[in-house]
């Protein structure tokens, strides 16, 4: 299970992002991540293991590195997230909180079209982080 929180604001969104994501801490215990975007600095991202400590204690010391009015945060029991992707659509950060029940069929179909999968967890054969064909 997991949870995510996103925000877009006219002013700095880091505090809202931090508390909004922390609110989802009961949804998962493996990993937590934040990503923000500002026109001046671009993307800032941090991902921490939450198996031995709480979200707040891991992220409070690094909050000063974040800046921006757009942000996304995630609590995940599977992948290290958010991921930042460069593509023909531009650069963006995404998170996923989902259970895909037909992943084997999707893998077969998409790899036949020469799509690329990101394997962010080597102990699991295929991760559902798909890059466009």
Evaluate if residue 127 carries a pLDDT over 60: no
Instruction: Give the model confidence (pLDDT) of 64-121 as tens digits.
Output: 999 999 999 999 988 889 999 888 888 999 998 877 788 788 878 877 776 665 555 5
Judge whether residue 46 has pLDDT over 70.
yes
pLDDT band at 42 (very low <50, low <70, confident <90, very high): very high
Cα–Cα distances in Å, from 32 out to 27, 36, 72, 90?
A: 11, 14, 11, 24
How many Å apart are CA 43 and CA 39, to the nearest integer?
A: 9
Nearest to 18 by CA among 65, 88, 78: 65
Structure-model confidence comparison of residues 86 and 6, the more confident one: 6
Look up the pTM and report it.
0.76
């Amino acid at each position: 299970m997991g949870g995510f929180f996103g925000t877009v604001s006219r002013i700095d969104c880091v505090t809202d992002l931090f508390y909004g994501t922390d609110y989802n801490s009961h949804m998962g215990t493996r990993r937590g991540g934040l990503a923000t975007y500002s026109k001046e600095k671009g993307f800032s991202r941090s991902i921490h293991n939450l198996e031995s400590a709480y979200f707040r204690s891991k992220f409070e010391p690094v909050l000063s590195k974040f800046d921006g009015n757009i942000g996304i945060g995630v609590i995940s029991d599977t992948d290290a997230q958010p991921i930042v992707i460069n593509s023909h659509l531009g650069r963006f950060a995404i998170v996923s909180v989902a259970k895909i029940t037909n992943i084997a069929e999707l893998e077969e179909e998409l790899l036949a079209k020469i799509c690329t999968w990101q394997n962010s967890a080597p102990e699991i054969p295929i991760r559902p982080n798909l890059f466009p064909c």
